[in-house]
Amino acid sequence: MNKLIAILVSLSILITGCWDKVEINKRIFVISMGIDKFEGQQFKSRENEIFPNFIPDRYKITFTYPNLALIVGDGAGEATHKITSTGININDIQKNLNTHLEGVISFDHIKLIVLGEEMAKDEELMKEVLDFIERSPEIGRRIHLMVAPGEAADILSTKLPQPIPLGLYVRDLMNKPTRAARSADADIGYILRNLHESDAAIVPRINSSKNEIVVAGAAVVKNYKMAGWLGEMETLYLMFMLDKVDTATGNVIVDKRILPILVSDSTTKMTVSKKEGRIHVAFNIEAEGSITQHGFALVGQTFDPKYIRRVEKDVEERLEKNIARTYKIIREKFGADLIQAGEYLRKKDPKVWDEVKDNWEEYFTKSQSEVNVRMKIRRVGVTR
Amino acid sequence: MGFIDDLFQKKEDERYKIPVEKDFKKNFDAIKEILTNCDDIIYRDFNVGQDQKMRFAIIYAEGLADKNLINEHILQNLMILSRMANMNIETLKQKIYEVIKDGTVAVTDLREIEDVNVAVDVILSGETILILDKWDKVLMIATRGWPMRSVSEPSTETVIRGPSEGFTETLRVNTALVRRRIRDPRLKIKQFQIGRRSKTDVAVLFIDEIANNNVLRMVKERLDKIDIDAILESGYVEQLIEDNWRSPFPQIQNTQRPDAVAAALYEGRIGIIVDNTPFALLVPSTVVSLLQSPEDYYERFFISSAVRVLRFIAMALALTFPSLYIATTSFHPGMLPTDLALYVAGTRMKVPFPAFIEAFLMEAALELLREAGIRLPVPIGSTIGIVGGLVLGQAAVQAGIVSPLMVIVVALTAMATYAAPSYSLAASFRLLRFILMALAAFLGLYGIIIGLFVLLFHMCTLKSFGVPYLSPFAAAEMTLGDFKDVFLRVPLHMMRKRPSYLHRSDNDRLSKKTADIFSWEGDRNEQK
C-alpha cells in the first residue's frame, strides 16, 4: 500500500511541472516584434524543387531583443539587436530563427507588436496574427499592439536618442500618467475584447521619422482587417466618447483671444437607447480643467465668474460639435461600432438588443448622437 | 495536591542497600572502598570531646564543597568549641547525637542518612558527610559551593529593553532566578536526578492551577523513561523527550532567559531546568511561541506588532528566497518585471553556472562562513568575516562567478534567517532552504509549492506534548482570542485571558478592573 502511494505521489510530481528549464541568460527576450506582409521574390532552393508542394512565405517578421551588456552598463553598441526573417507563419519563423540565434526565443517580455499597414489590411493574415497573440501563453494582455503606416520593420529600425529598447520606450510612453489622449488608449486585451464583442476596434498608430517615435492617431480595425485611419484629433474626440481621457489640451477663442485649456479630468457617461426605430447614443461628459495661459497684465478677468462661464461655454460648444462630427465619421465612413454601443445594449437593455442585433451594422450606421458637455474650469493659475 | 504528590513520589532506590552500621571504622571504610582511587575526596578523622574519646570523620569532595564553611562551622565547632561545652557528661553521652545535630554544627541543612550508597552520592554532589562514632546513621551537611560563573547577560536572545540576567550553569541559581519572578507558593519546583552515572539534577518548574496536568504527566513520564548514563546538557533531555525526532522543527523551546521562563510558566507552560547548562527547556512549544521574543511584551504594542509582522516576513524570506530566485530565473522569467528580468539576464551573462549551482555555492559559502566564525576565537573570527564576506564576495562578483543579485539574495536571506528569535528554528529553516532550492531547480515554482505543502502537512500533524504545533492556526477548536498574540501583539489590557490551547483551569491573566481603566467609560469617570 505504501509502495503504491509512493509511486502515485512520485508520478504525479514527476510527470507534471515545469521541465522547461532555461537559464535566464540563455533566453532571448523579444521586446518588440514587427509583422509585415511578405510579397517579395520567393527564394528558390534546391529543396523547393524536390518538394514542389511547398507553401510560399507570407510574413516578414522583425524581432528586436535587448543588448544585455549595455543594460548592465558594460558594453557598447546599439540598445537592441535586430533580426529579420521571412516565413509561412510566426511559428515557422521562430523555428527558422532558432538556426540563427544561440538563445531560446521567449515572448515573456514582449512589450510591443507593430503591424505593417499592408499586413493589417489583409484579413486572412490579420486573423492568423491575432489568434497567435491571443493563443500564446507568453504574450501578456497589457502590451501594446500598434499599426504603422508603411513597413513595421522601419519602425523597429528607429534609433532612439537614448539607448532604450523600443518596446520599453513605447511602454513608458503609453503608461505615463499625463499621456496625451491623441494616441488611442488600447492595449492588446482591450483590442481583442472589442473585436470579439463588436467586430471593431481601434489600434494605436505608431509612426517614426529618423530617430523619433510618434504614437498618435489610430487605425480602425473592422471585420478583422484595417479599414482606415483616424487622425490625431479624431482619436482625441473618440477618447472623449470612450471615457479614456487623462489629459487633453484644446484652444478656445474668447474675445478674440486664444486661450489654451487643459482638461485634466473628464468622465463620460454613454447611454444607448432606441427611439422611433433609430438607435440614439447620448454622451454626457463632465470635464474639469484649467486655464494655463491668459493675456499678460489683464488683471481680474480670470476672477470674473461670468467671464469664466463664457470660456467654459466655448469649450463645451467646441467639444460638443467636434465629438458629434467624429461620431459621424465613425458611423458613416467606417460603420464601425468603436464605442461599443452594441455591447452596451446587450448588457443594459437585452430586449432592444435582441431586436436590433441581426441588423446591428445598419442600425448603427443610421444612429443618432447627442453630446452634452459640462465643463468646469477649476484653476486659473497663480496670477489674477 | 494529591495529583502532584502522586506524580512526583520518590522511587525506591533499586540498588543494593548498604546500611550504615554502628561501627565507626566499618562505615568509614565502606565509603572509602566505594570511593577508592578518587583522589579528590578528602577524608578527615578527628577526636571530639573533653577527653578526646569520640572518633568522628568528615568526608567531602574537594572543589565541590565550600572549604571555609567546613572549617569554620563544622570542624571548629566540633573540635575546639565542643571542648568548652560545660555540660553534664553523662547526659552528653546519652544525647551526643542530638546535641551535635541540633546544637553544634552551624549549617543550614542537615540530614540523617542510613545508606552508604546515598552517602556517597551526596559527597559527589558537594555535600559533606559527618560520620559519628557508635551511631547507626551518618550526617549529611549541606556544604555545596564551587566556583561558578556569575549571573551575566545571556549570549543568545539579547534584548534591548528587559532584564539582562541570564541563566548560569548552576541549577540552584537558575531556579532562584525564576523564583524571584514568581513569588507564588504555587510555583512548584520538583527536582530529581537523571543519568545512571552523571546523576544530573533536573528540575521541573510549573505553576500549580495554571499548568495543565496532562502536559505535566507527559513531561514526568517521559523524563522517567530516560535511562542514560549521562546528561551533559539540556539538549540531551530535549532530544529524548521530544514528540517526533524525524521532524526538522524544534518541538521544545530553549532559552537562557529567566524572564522568558517565568512568562512561559505564567502562560501555563512547564519549564525544565537541567544542571550544568544555562539553557532551560519550555514545553509545550508551538511555532508561534518560537517566533516570539520576551521583548515583544516589554515594548509598546505598536512596535512589538510591527516587529512581529516583520519577523513573519523574514521567516518567509529565509525559507524561500533563494529558491524563488532559482525558480524565477530558470523557469519563469516572465514573472519578473521586464526591466528587472533584463537586468538579471545581463548580470548573469558571464556567470558560468546555472542558477541552482550558483545559489548552492553561495549558500554553502555562507554556511561555511557562519560555522567558521562560531568555532574560531573571537579575534580571528572577525578576520574570517572580512575575508569571507567582503573579499570573497567582492572577488566572486568581479570575476563573474556569481551575479551581484545572487550576493544580494544570499545576504538578505542570511539576515532574514537570523531575525528569528529562536536559533533552533532558524537552523531548521536553513536546512529546509536547501531542500526547497533543490526542488526549485528541479520543478520551478511548482516544486517550491510542493515542498511548502509537504512541510505544511507535516507541521499540521506535529504536536508538542499534546498541543498542536500550529496552534492557534490548527487547534481543534479555534479561539479567536489566541490570535491577539500571533501576528500582532494587542495592547496588554486587551489580553485578558491566557492562551487557550493549553486548557487550564485558571485562565484570567488580567482582572476586569484593570482592563476597564482603558475603556472610555473609565476615562470619563476619572475626569469627573
Reported as a single tens digit per residue, the pLDDT across B324-367 is 999 999 988 889 999 999 989 988 888 888 889 999 988 998 88
Residue B422 and residue B500 share a domain: no
Same domain, A203 and A93: yes
Cα separations in angstroms, B75 against A318, B104, B131: 117, 10, 13
Tell me: do B318 and B441 sit in the same domain: yes
- Are residues B175 and B260 located together in one domain of the fold? yes
User: Domain check: are A245 and A219 in the same one?
Assistant: no
Rounded to whole angstroms, the Cα distance separating B390 from B384 reads 10
B123 within domain boundaries: yes
Specify the CATH number for the domain of residue A254: 3.30.300.210
Structural domain includes residue B480: no
Using a CB-CB cut-off of 8 Å, the residues of chain A touching B445 are: 18
Same domain? B304 vs B281: no
The answer to the question of residue B220 being in a domain is yes
Same domain (yes/no): B364, B401:
yes
Burial of A110 (0-12, 13-18, 19+ CB in 10 A): buried
Residue range B191-203: mean pLDDT, rounded: 91
B446–A109 C-beta distance less than 8 A: no
Q: Do A226 and A256 fall within a single domain?
A: no
Instruction: Point out the domain boundary residue: A230, A254, A284.
Output: A230
Instruction: Kindly state the average pLDDT of the residues B44-56.
Output: 79
Could A27 and B333 be called an inter-chain contact, meaning their C-beta atoms sit closer than 8 Å?
yes
Report chain A residues whose CB lies below 8 A from the CB of B347: 72
Shared domain for A216 and A124, answered yes or no, is: yes
Beta carbons within 8 Å of B358's beta carbon, 6+ residues apart: B351, B401, B402, B403, B406
Beginning with the edge strand found earlier in the chain, give each strand of the sheet holding B187-194 in spatial order: B187-194, B200-207, B270-274, B280-283, B253-255
Is the CB of A20 less than 8 angstroms away from the CB of B349? no
> Would you say residue B425 lies in a domain?
yes
Candidates A20, A22, A24, A26: best to mutate against B (most CBs of B within 10 A) is A24
Higher-pLDDT residue of B214, B373: B214
Same structural domain, A224 and A278: no
Sign for the CA dihedral angle at B523, B524, B527, B528 comes to: negative
How many domains is chain B built from? 4
Instruction: Report which DSSP code applies to B11.
Output: P
Matching residue, cell 526547497: B436
Domain end, chosen from A197, A230, A263, is at: A230
> Is A31 in the same domain as A146?
yes
Whether residue B341 lies within 8 A of chain A, CB to CB, comes out as: yes
Which of B285, B317, B342 terminates a domain? The answer is B285
Q: What is the pLDDT of residues B119-139, one digit of tens each?
A: 898 999 889 998 888 788 888
List the domain range (segments joined by +) for residue A306: 238-379
First vs last Cα of chain B: how many Å apart?
A: 48
Residue A304 and residue A219 in one domain = no
Specify if A11 maps to a domain.
no
Q: Which helix (H) or strand (E) holds B68?
A: helix B67-69
A219, A263: one domain? no
- ipTM higher than threshold 0.95: no
Instruction: Verify that A30 and A70 share a domain, yes or no.
Output: yes
Domain end point (choices B228, B262, B285): B285
Tell me what the mean pLDDT of segment B21-34 comes to.
86
Question: Which grid coordinates belong to B216?
Answer: 505535566
Is-contact B192 B482, C-beta < 8 A?
Answer: no
Residues of B in contact with A25 (CB under 8 A): 345-346, 348-349, 351
Mutate to test the interface with A, among B340, B349, B406 (most CBs of A within 10 A): B349
Does B160 map to a domain? Answer: no
Domain assignment of residue A4, yes or no: no
Residue at which a domain ends, from A172, A207, A230? A230
Q: What is the pLDDT of residue B91?
A: 66
Is B101 a member of any domain?
Answer: yes
- Is the distance from CB of A315 to CB of A375 less than 8 angstroms? yes
Q: What is the pLDDT of residue B495?
A: 80
pLDDT computed for residue B306 by the predictor: 93
- Cβ-nearest to B338 among A68, A109, A138: A109
Q: pLDDT value at position A44?
A: 64
**A170 and A243 fall within a common domain:** no
**pLDDT over 70 for what percent of chain B?**
92
Q: What does the pLDDT profile of chain A (384 residues) look like in tens digits?
A: 888 988 888 877 777 655 678 888 888 999 999 999 988 766 666 777 787 777 888 899 999 999 888 888 777 778 889 999 888 888 888 888 888 888 888 898 999 999 999 999 999 999 999 999 999 988 988 899 999 998 999 999 888 888 888 999 999 988 888 777 788 888 899 999 999 988 899 999 999 887 889 999 999 999 898 999 999 999 999 999 999 888 888 888 888 889 899 988 899 999 999 888 889 999 999 999 998 888 888 888 888 889 999 999 999 999 999 999 999 999 888 888 898 888 899 999 899 899 888 888 888 998 989 999 999 999 888 887
Residue holding cell 570511593? B35
- B281 and B309 belong to one structural domain: no
Smallest Cα distance from B425 to chain A, Å? 28
Based on the domain organization, do A273 and A330 belong to the same domain? yes
Q: Which residues lie below 8 Å from residue A22, measured CB to CB, with a gap of 6+?
A: A104, A106, B330
DSSP state of B150: P
Listed ranges A141-145, B155-159, B378-382; the one with the highest mean pLDDT:
A141-145
Q: Looking at residues B491-508, what average pLDDT do you find?
A: 76
pLDDT band at B478 (very low <50, low <70, confident <90, very high): low
Which residues in chain A are contacts of B328 at CB distance < 8 A?
Answer: 24
Q: How far apart are CA B413 and CA B428, in angstroms?
A: 14
The answer to whether A184 and A238 have CB atoms below 8 angstroms apart is: yes
Tell if the CB–CB gap between A108 and B347 is shorter than 8 Å.
no
pLDDT at res. B504: 67
Residue B449 and residue B309 in one domain? yes
As for how many domains chain A has, the answer is 2
Q: Do B338 and A111 touch (CB under 8 A)?
A: yes
- In a domain? residue A13: no
Give residue B240's domain range.
Answer: 171-285
* Minimum distance, in Å, between the CA of residue B448 and any CA atom of chain A: 11
pLDDT digits 0-9 by tens, B72-110: 888 888 887 777 665 566 666 667 777 777 777 778 888
End position of a domain, from candidates B141, B163, B197 = B141
In a domain, B158, yes or no: no
In this structure, the answer to whether residues B177 and B307 fall within a common structural domain is no
Cell of B407: 550576493
Distances (CA, A) of A10 to A3, B134, B365: 11, 78, 32
Q: Rounded to the nearest 5°, which phi and psi values hold at A369?
A: -130, 155
**Shared-domain flag, residues B281 and B312:** no
In a domain, A6, yes or no: no
pTM for the whole thing?
0.85
Phi then psi for residue A54, to 5 deg, are -70, 155
Could you give phi then psi for residue A169, rounded to 5 degrees?
-60, -45
Q: A22, A23, A29, A110: best mutation site toward chain B, by most B Cβ within 10 Å?
A: A23
Query: In this structure, is residue A12 part of a structural domain?
Result: no
* Residues near A379 by beta carbon (within 8 Å), at least 6 away in sequence: A289, A290, A291
Instruction: Say if residue A62 is in the same domain as residue A184.
Output: yes
Burial B236-270 (b: 16+ CB within 10 A, else e): bbbebbbbeeebbbbbbbbbbbbbbbbbbbbbbbb
